[in-house]
């Protein structure tokens, strides 16, 4: 968060649809120029937040401040926010140029100004020459760019994107992710992106807000969320992980000492957070485990054996069994050379305290 | 399907086609017969009946009268029907089903009953029989078709398009004029043609509510009472050609519009 005034301040908004609670007292600041992604399963409240920002829903409680102005009750046509819709919502009876010019005309811009802006935005999004076509004559990727151009053309303070990559095929999606990120950098626009796809969120965002059941689970950079998930939900929703159920024995500084199947392990918590004694879950990413014939120098080390190995090309997925504890299993990714050299014999598995996150629940 | 079955089905189909078209073809043929008596054999051909029709002031004015009534009642039906459809589609409110039912019911009331009811009611209100009364009755009868056709089209308009337009700065009125209405054009054109044909074709309502001037069907009816004449065949053929041309054009037009607007 920057120390200047945020572009958007979401101040305690709640929203229910009948008996279903979609959002519960959400607080959030978004800085100018940020690429913020709301990530979560369907029904987590991410789309409701987006629709409230766009003006399509009014929150039951709370306020939305945009650029210092309270816009909570302002209809969509009177706020400086534009949206890229999931189905693009291009107007089928208008050409590409008419679609993109729609918002400019309604802003009351003159003919020549519209023409200039149209040329600028169309060349920026590599749509030159498509102006006279109809949406039905475009490919999925082209339609997506037209939708983006139409939303960016009126120069909104905030751009909302509602799963705009969902309709693209997997191959194109990767390319569009990069494009979108680069467009956001070059325009220095604030993007509010909503998705249920964790990979999309990780590759594009400056900041990810993980939502679950109408609440924020965690708010941080992609790296923070990946390596230091705060909760079991985040750990499982983003990437693959080992969840270790153990008992907290105590704390040493910011390290948590826990017992896991007779092994004493050290884990990481956010600075200043205290963890009480009792049952706890820790998360360690699959690629963070190291292997050796000798006891490694890492803070955590257990002895085990490989009970299964799957060849995945550049890397291998290993199933491991900790010595002396039938229930204690781990999964790991290693490079193929290391993987094949391990064999079936006993092996040391090591990892640092910092890479093992102690979860909230 | 076996070969025998196929032939059997084909026979039924062609029997149906003949049943529909033979009377029409006979009617057209008799209009060109150079004799006052309808029936075979046709010894010589003539266009006299047609020139007679176009020179018959009563026929020409009845034709114009029918077209004027059709156009005006269609305009009223389209305005009212589209308004009701936009009001009802995609909205939930108390009494929606009742409003829908009331709007659609006139299509189900037999013509003779509604015609008599209109006649009594119009007299009660002091409305004279004539053009206004006929237009009123035709419009009421045609509104349900407009409502159904326009609602069907409206239900396929993605809500996101309306939201996108709002998002880009359009107020509800601009959204309606620039997004909803263009989307509805094929349905409105289709419904208009249907209304025009229904109104042009109507006899019962026009008969009961008409004043001194007859509409074309009423005129034909009056002429029939004084005996069958090839002039009537000529009138009917002209009417058939005009309505068929409009119908075919409308069908092609709406199909093209629908194809264009698919994204």
Domain made up of A8-227: CATH architecture: 3-Layer(aba) Sandwich (3.40)
**Of all residues in chain A, what percent carry a pLDDT higher than 90?**
58
Nearest residue to B137 (alpha-carbon basis) of B159, B161, B168, B106: B106
- Per-domain boundaries in chain A: 8-227, 241-358
Cβ distance of B167 and A82 shorter than 8 Å: yes
* Pairing assessment for the beta strands A263-268 and A255-260 based on DSSP bridges: antiparallel
Residues pairing with A143 in the sheet: none
The CATH number of the domain holding residue B213 is 1.10.3720.10
Q: How far apart are CA B223 and CA B228, in angstroms?
A: 8
Question: Which stretches does DSSP call E strand in B136-208?
Answer: none
Task: Please check the confidence at residue A343 and state whether its pLDDT lies above 90.
Answer: no
In angstroms, how far is the first alpha carbon of chain B from the final one?
Answer: 38
Is residue B40 assigned to a domain? no
Torsion from C-alpha of B145, B148, B154, B156, nearest 10 degrees: -120
The Cα A220–Cα A225 span in angstroms is: 6
Tokens found for residue A333:
């990714």
Tally of structural domains, chain B: 1
CB A56 within 8 A of CB B125: no
Record the tokens describing residue A97, joined without a space: 């140029």
Angle between helical axes of B48-55 and B230-260 (0-180°, round to 10): 80
Does the structure show a pLDDT above 50 at A268?
Answer: yes
The pLDDT score that the predictor gives to residue B262 is: 52
What whole-number distance in Å separates Cα of residue A149 and Cα of residue A100?
6
Å between A138 CA and nearest CA of chain B: 9
Query: How many Cβ atoms sit within 10 Å of the Cβ of residue B136?
Result: 18
Give, for B167, the enclosing helix (H) or strand (E). helix B159-167
A interface test, pick of B159, B258, B261, B263 with most A CB neighbours within 10 Å: B263
With an 8 Å Cβ cutoff, is B188 touching chain A? Answer: no
CB contact under 8 A, B169 and A103: yes
Domain with B187, as residue range(s), is 57-260
CA distances from A135 to A91, A145, A249, B253, B263 (A): 8, 11, 63, 20, 6
- Tell me the pLDDT tens digit for each residue of B140-198: 999 999 999 999 999 999 999 999 999 999 999 999 999 999 999 989 998 999 999 99
Is B13 domain-assigned?
Answer: no
Class of domain A241-358: mainly beta
CA pair distance B91, A58, nearest whole angstrom: 18
To the question of pTM greater than 0.90 for the whole model, the response is: no
Question: A211 vs B246, which has greater pLDDT?
Answer: A211
* B158 to A89: CB separation less than 8 angstroms, yes or no: yes
Q: Is residue B263 scored above 60 in pLDDT?
A: no
On the question of pLDDT at A3 being above 60, the answer is no
> Mind listing the pLDDT tens digit for each residue in A134-189?
999 998 889 999 999 999 999 999 999 999 888 788 888 888 899 899 999 999 99
Same CATH fold assignment for domains A8-227 and A241-358: no
B16 occurs within a structural domain: no
Residues B31-50: pLDDT tens digits? 887 777 777 777 778 888 88
Cis peptide before B41 (omega within 30 of 0): yes
Token pair 């993980």 is found at A210
Q: Which residue of B has its CA nearest to A103?
A: B168
CA A40 to CA A30: how far, in whole Å?
18
pLDDT band at A195; cut points 50, 70, 90: very high
Predicted local distance difference test score (pLDDT) of residue A243? 92
Question: A278 by DSSP, 3-state: which?
Answer: strand
DSSP string, B83-111: HHHHHHTT---TTHHHHHHHHHGGGTS-H
């Amino acid at each position: 968060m920057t120390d200047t005034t945020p572009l958007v301040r979401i101040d305690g908004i709640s929203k229910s649809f009948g008996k279903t609670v979609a959002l519960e007292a959400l607080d959030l600041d978004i800085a100018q120029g940020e690429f913020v992604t709301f990530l979560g399963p369907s029904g987590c409240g991410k789309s409701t937040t987006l629709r409230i920002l766009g003006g399509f829903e009014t929150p039951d409680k709370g306020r939305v401040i945009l650029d210092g102005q309270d816009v909570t009750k302002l209809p969509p046509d009177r706020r400086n926010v534009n949206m890229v819709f999931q189905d693009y919502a291009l107007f089928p009876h208008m050409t590409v140029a008419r679609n993109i010019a729609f918002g400019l005309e309604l802003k009351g811009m003159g003919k020549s100004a519209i023409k200039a802006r149209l040329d600028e935005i169309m060349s920026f999004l590599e749509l030159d020459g498509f102006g006279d076509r109809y949406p039905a004559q475009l490919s999925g990727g082209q339609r997506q760019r037209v939708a983006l151009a139409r939303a960016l053309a009126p120069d909104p303070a905030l751009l909302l994107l509602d799963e705009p990559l969902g309709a693209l095929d997997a191959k194109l999606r990767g390319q569009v992710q990069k494009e979108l990120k680069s467009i956001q950098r070059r325009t220095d626009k604030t993007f509010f992106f909503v998705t249920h796809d964790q990979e999309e969120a990780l590759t594009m965002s400056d900041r990810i807000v993980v939502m679950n059941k109408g609440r924020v689970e965690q708010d941080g950079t992609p790296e923070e969320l990946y390596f230091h998930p705060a909760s079991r939900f985040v750990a499982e929703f983003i990437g693959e992980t080992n969840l270790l159920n153990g008992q907290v024995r105590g704390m040493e500084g910011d390290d948590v000492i826990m017992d896991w199947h007779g092994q004493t392990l050290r884990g990481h918590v956010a600075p200043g957070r205290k963890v009480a004694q009792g049952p706890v879950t820790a998360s360690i990413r699959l690629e963070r485990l190291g292997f050796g014939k000798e006891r490694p120098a890492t803070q955590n080390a257990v002895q085990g054996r490989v009970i299964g190995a799957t060849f995945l090309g550049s890397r291998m997925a290993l199933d491991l069994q900790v010595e002396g504890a039938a229930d204690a299993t781990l999964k790991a990714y290693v490079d193929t050379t290391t993987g094949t050299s391990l064999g079936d014999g006993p092996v040391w598995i090591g990892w640092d305290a910092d890479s093992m996150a102690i979860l909230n629940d | 399907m076996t070969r025998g079955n196929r032939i059997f089905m084909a026979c039924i189909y062609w029997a149906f086609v003949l049943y529909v078209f033979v009377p029409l073809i006979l009617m057209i043929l008799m209009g060109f017969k150079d004799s006052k008596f309808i029936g075979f054999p046709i010894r010589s051909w003539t266009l006299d009946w047609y020139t007679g029709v176009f020179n018959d002031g009563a026929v020409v004015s009845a034709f114009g009268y029918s077209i004027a009534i059709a156009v005006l009642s269609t305009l009223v039906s389209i305005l009212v029907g589209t308004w009701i459809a936009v009001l009802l589609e995609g909205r939930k409110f108390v009494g929606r089903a009742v409003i829908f039912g009331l709007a659609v019911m006139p299509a189900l009331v037999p013509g003779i009953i509604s015609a008599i009811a209109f006649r009594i009611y119009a007299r009660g209100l002091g409305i004279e029989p004539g053009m206004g009364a006929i237009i009123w009755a035709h419009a009421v009868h045609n509104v349900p078709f407009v409502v159904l056709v326009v609602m069907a089209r409206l239900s396929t308009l993605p809500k996101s398009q309306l939201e996108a337009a709002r998002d880009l700065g359009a107020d509800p009125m601009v959204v309606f004029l620039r997004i909803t209405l263009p989307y509805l054009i094929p349905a409105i054109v289709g419904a208009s043609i249907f209304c025009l044909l229904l109104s042009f074709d109507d006899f019962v309502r026009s008969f009961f509510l008409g004043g001194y001037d007859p509409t074309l069907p009423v005129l034909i009816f009056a002429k029939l009472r004084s005996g069958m004449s090839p002039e009537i065949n000529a009138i009917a053929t002209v009417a058939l050609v005009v309505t068929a041309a409009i119908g075919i054009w409308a069908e092609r037009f709406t199909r093209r519009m629908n194809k264009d607007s698919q994204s």
